[in-house]
Amino acid sequence: MVRAAVLPAVGSPLEITDIELPEPGPGQVRVRLAAAGVCHSDLSLANGTMRVPVPAVLGHEGAGTVVSVGEGVSHVAPGDGVVLNWAPSCGSCHHCGLGEVWLCADALSGTGRVHATAADGTELHPGLNVAAFAEETVVAADCVLPAPEGVPLDVAALLGCAVLTGYGAVHHNARVRAGESVVVHGVGGVGLAAIQSARIAGAGRIVAVDASPHKEELARAAGATDFVLASDTTAREVRKLTGGHGADVALECVGRAATIRAAWDSTRRGGRTTVVGVGGKDQQVTFHALELFHFARTLSGCVYGDCDPAVDLPVLAEHVRAGRLDLEALVTDRIGLEGIPAAFENMLAGKGGRALVVF
C-alpha cells in the first residue's frame, strides 16, 4: 500500500488515501517519487476543464528513483533516478511522422488503463499517465527519462512539465531572438520558467504581468526587467515600456479569455502571441477581421512547449548546471500530499509560484 491523492469524481475534493499498486508488468517501471509539482493542469483535471477517466490518481510532474522494472525494460534499472514524462510519443501517428511529437495522437492513451486499486477495491486510473501524486507509481517505460546528472531529484520534477513548457514556449514556439522584447502574462510556475527562458534567449526587455502585486519580486528574481499589475490598461502599459509599439513576443500563461486578449493587444504590429495556458470551452476570445489584417500578428497555441522531452531535457539540464536556469527559484512552497488542496486554492487566488510535494 502507498499513500496517494485520489480524485474520486470530477468536482469532488481530493482524498488522501492508501492505494494498492501492482508489480510492473512487461514494459512497465515502478518509481518511488522524490517530489511532484502541483500544476494548474491538475486543477483543470479536478474541476473538469480537462477530461480524463475517474476515479484517478492525479499528478503529472514528478521525479524519483526506479524501484523495479518489468520484462523488456532496458533503458533504466532499479536505483536509477528518473524524470516522469506524462505525454510520451508513439512515434508512428500522423503528428509523430511530421516531427510534432508534442501533438502525438496516442500521448494520453494510457489514462484509460487501470493503474491501481483503492482499499475498497475501486479501480483507479492514472490522471495524466503517470499518477505522480503518490509515494510510488507504476508507469509505462516510455513515461520515464533518465534524470540528468547534477540536478537534485526533488527540483528535477519541475523539468517534467513547468520548465519544459515555459522553455519550449520561448525557444520553440515564439522563437525569441536576442534583443527582442517579451511580455509574460501570468507569473506562476510556467510563467516564471518562461521569464527565465526569455532571459536565457537574450531578450532585451522582459515585462511580467500578473494580477497579484506580490508576484513582482518573484518575476524580477527570474529575470523580468519590468512588472505590470494586470488591469484594463495592461496593453497600454506594456506599449509604454516598449517604445509605444508593444512587445515583439507575448506569452499568455493563464488560459483565460481576458488575458489572451490582453496578450494579443500588448504585442506589436507583426509580433507573435503564444497561448500557453489551458482554458475552458467557456473562455471565448473574439477578434474582428480588420484588426487581424491590420496588425498582422501571429497567434499560436502551444502544447507542452512544442518540446520533445528526450531532446530538450538534456539541454535544460545543462542550463541548470551552468547556473543559467534556477529551478529552486520556481518553488514557493514545499508540501506533503495533504497540502495539495490548499495549493489548488492558492492557484485560484493567484498566489505563489510552484508548490512542490516532497516525499
pLDDT of residue 148: 94
C-alpha cell at 250: 507575448
For the segment 204-225, the average pLDDT, to the nearest whole number, is 96
15 with 138, same domain: the answer is: yes
Residue 336 above 90 pLDDT? Answer: yes
Q: Which domain holds residue 216?
A: 163-303
For the segment 157-184, the average pLDDT, to the nearest whole number, is 97
- For the chain, the domain total comes to 2
- Counting residues of the chain whose pLDDT is more than 90, the rounded percentage is 92
Q: Is residue 321 very low, low, confident or very high in pLDDT (cuts 50, 70, 90)? A: very high
Per the listing, cell 512487461 goes with 26
Are 302 and 173 within 8 A, CB to CB? Answer: yes
Inside any domain, residue 310: no
Inside any domain, residue 313: no
- Kindly report, residue by residue over 96-154, the tens digit of the pLDDT: 999 999 999 999 999 989 999 998 999 999 999 999 999 999 999 999 999 999 999 99
For the segment 326-350, the average pLDDT, to the nearest whole number, is 93
Residue 11 above 90 pLDDT? Answer: no
345 by Cβ neighbours in 10 Å (0-12 / 13-18 / 19+) ranks as exposed
pLDDT of residue 47: 85
Inside any domain, residue 308: no
Inside any domain, residue 29: yes
Inside any domain, residue 291: yes
Residue 312 above 90 pLDDT? Answer: yes
Q: Is residue 353 very low, low, confident or very high in pLDDT (cuts 50, 70, 90)? A: confident
Least confident among 48-52, 85-89, 137-141, 291-295: 48-52
pLDDT of residue 91: 93
193 with 332, same domain: the answer is: no
Residue 155 above 90 pLDDT? Answer: yes
Q: Is residue 349 very low, low, confident or very high in pLDDT (cuts 50, 70, 90)? A: confident
Inside any domain, residue 319: no
For the segment 209-234, the average pLDDT, to the nearest whole number, is 96
Q: Is residue 34 very low, low, confident or very high in pLDDT (cuts 50, 70, 90)? A: very high
pLDDT of residue 285: 95
pLDDT of residue 318: 97
Residue 93 above 90 pLDDT? Answer: yes
143 with 178, same domain: the answer is: no
Are 190 and 162 within 8 A, CB to CB? Answer: yes
For the segment 261-279, the average pLDDT, to the nearest whole number, is 97
Give the residue from 158, 231, 232, 219 showing the smallest Cα distance to 183: 219
User: In this structure, which amino acid lies at residue 203?
Assistant: A
228 with 123, same domain: the answer is: no
For the segment 335-340, the average pLDDT, to the nearest whole number, is 96
pTM for the model: 0.94
Inside any domain, residue 320: no
275 with 289, same domain: the answer is: yes
